[in-house]
Amino acid sequence: MRARWEILARPLFGAGLFLLAAPALAHTGDGVAGGFLSGLTHPIFGWDHVLAMVAVGLWGAFLGSPAIWLLPVIFPLVMAFGGALGVLGVPVPAVEAGIAASAVVLGLLVAFASRPPLWVAGVIVGAFAIFHGHAHGTEMPQAANAFAYAIGFVTATGLLHLIGIGFGLTVRWPAGEWAVRAGGGAISMVGLAFLFSVV
């Protein structure tokens, strides 16, 4: 028994040391690799962004075809447009509140199993994508390689949608549907907390 514990303890100790280590922060956004990493991590380090993008995937999966692919196709395109507005310095009002509201609204739509017409779903997702894109565009590091940054940024967004779609596909089972709706409710609650902190 003791030998088995030792076998487990050594890699766990090693993993613990790995987690405790401070990051070297060698990549400051310069160059191709730095630009890609900067773009890839940018959407992931904001929980309100993460929640909303996962919610888009969840809702798409919940609505089924063609929304399952249409919403994650609309979001990056419109988000990039919002990003362009942010980069160019075009002001958009209440960006942070809009991002938090996106998590609240999208989470509620999933929680209540809302099935509006496809064009309405597209307009809702597209409208919120503007806020997300604008925030990312405004905070975009000037030193980043534009091409690599854009690839990383779009890839991260797509992967977050994919996580939502993957979870959302469990709606075909009754337990899965309840889990997805509960997930939507949780996203909405967290979004509400973000909304109160920014308003």
Contact pattern for another protein over residues 94 through 113, marking x by CB under 8 A: --------------------
- The reply on whether position 187 binds another protein by CB under 8 A is no
User: How many helices (H) does the chain have, and how many strands (E)?
Assistant: 8, 0
Site for another protein in 126-145 (CB under 8 A): 137, 140, 142
Q: Least distance from C-beta 135 to another protein, angstroms?
A: 14
What is the 8-class DSSP label of residue 169? G
- The reply on whether position 91 binds another protein by CB under 8 A is no
Question: Around 133, how many Cα atoms within 13 Å sit in the side-chain half-sphere?
Answer: 24
Q: What angle do CA 59, 135, 133 make, to 5 degrees?
A: 50
Options 18-26, 49-57, 84-92, 119-127: segment touching another protein (CB under 8 A): 84-92
Tokens describing residue 113: 């199993």
Q: Least distance from C-beta 167 to another protein, angstroms?
A: 18
Burial of 34 (0-12, 13-18, 19+ CB in 10 A): buried
Residue in 44, 81, 167, 176 binding another protein, rule: CB under 8 A: 81
Site for another protein in 1-60 (CB under 8 A): none
φ, ψ at 64 (rounded to 5°):
80, -170
125 vs 112: CA distance, rounded Å:
17
Judged by CB, which is closer to another protein: 53, or 195?
Answer: 53
Per the CB < 8 A criterion, the answer to whether 35 and 146 are in contact is yes
Q: Least distance from C-beta 146 to another protein, angstroms?
A: 4
Contacting positions for another protein (CB under 8 A): 65, 69, 72-74, 76-77, 79-81, 83-85, 87-88, 137, 140, 142, 146-147, 149-151, 153-155, 157-158
